[in-house]
């Protein structure tokens, strides 16, 4: 097989993968709205988009944001609930890492989400991607199946919009089916809510 054929096949696999990622995200948004207490607060997935870094030319990570619809609205009428944000990140892989495709499920707790402006843009990706990975900004500890991250200092907290803490669990992407989305994703959000 020649290089041209290899590239063509690789692109075909990526296009099919992106179609499947879109179907999974759409299904999760629909499932959440119909069968859980969570609503999606991102009208499109957050993702890294830049022309500078070659790693960003291949979209490998997609983030959806959810909040519990029963939580109190922010007094500032900014469209957010005055509560934690739950992120579902579909990560197809990262350069230099050998882990399988994963779903990162995270609860982001903030000092004052009431002070935020409305919504998030696609480019706000870094604010939910970096805090679960950056050892230079965060102190991490393990708590059973969960990884807890706390900003190292006030500057790190301010960098991530007043982040107080993030709690994360990973799930193998290929373990997710239409039949177990409730258990593997939204029940895990419930568990994340109870980690102090």
Distance CA 24, CA 32 (A): 12
* Pick from 9, 108, 125: nearest CA to 68: 108
Distance CA 5, CA 11 (A): 10
* Pick from 61, 161, 83, 70: nearest CA to 120: 161
Predicted confidence (pLDDT) at residue 1 exceeds the cutoff of 90: no
Query: Greatest CA span in the chain, whole angstroms?
Result: 62
* Global pTM exceeds 0.85: yes
Phi then psi dihedrals of residue 186, to 5 deg: -75, -30
pLDDT in tens, 56-105: 678 899 999 999 999 999 999 999 999 999 999 999 998 888 889 999 99
């Amino acid at each position: 097989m020649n290089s041209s054929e290899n590239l063509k096949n690789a692109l075909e696999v990526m296009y099919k993968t992106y179609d499947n990622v879109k179907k999974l995200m759409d299904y999760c948004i629909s499932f959440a709205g119909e069968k859980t207490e969570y609503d999606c607060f991102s009208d499109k997935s957050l993702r890294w988009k830049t022309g500078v870094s070659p790693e960003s030319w291949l979209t490998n990570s997609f983030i959806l944001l959810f909040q519990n619809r029963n939580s109190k609205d922010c007094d500032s009428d900014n469209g957010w609930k005055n509560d934690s944000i739950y992120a579902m990140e579909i990560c197809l892989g990262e350069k230099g890492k050998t882990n399988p495709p994963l779903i990162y499920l995270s609860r982001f707790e903030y000092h004052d989400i009431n002070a935020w402006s409305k919504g998030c843009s696609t480019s706000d990706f870094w604010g939910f991607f970096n805090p679960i990975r950056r050892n230079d900004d965060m102190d991490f500890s393990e708590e059973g199946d969960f990884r807890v991250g706390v900003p190292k200092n006030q500057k790190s907290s301010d960098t991530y919009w007043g982040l107080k803490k993030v709690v994360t669990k990973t799930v193998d992407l290929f373990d997710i089916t239409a039949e177990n989305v409730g258990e593997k994703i939204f029940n895990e959000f419930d568990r994340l809510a109870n980690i102090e």
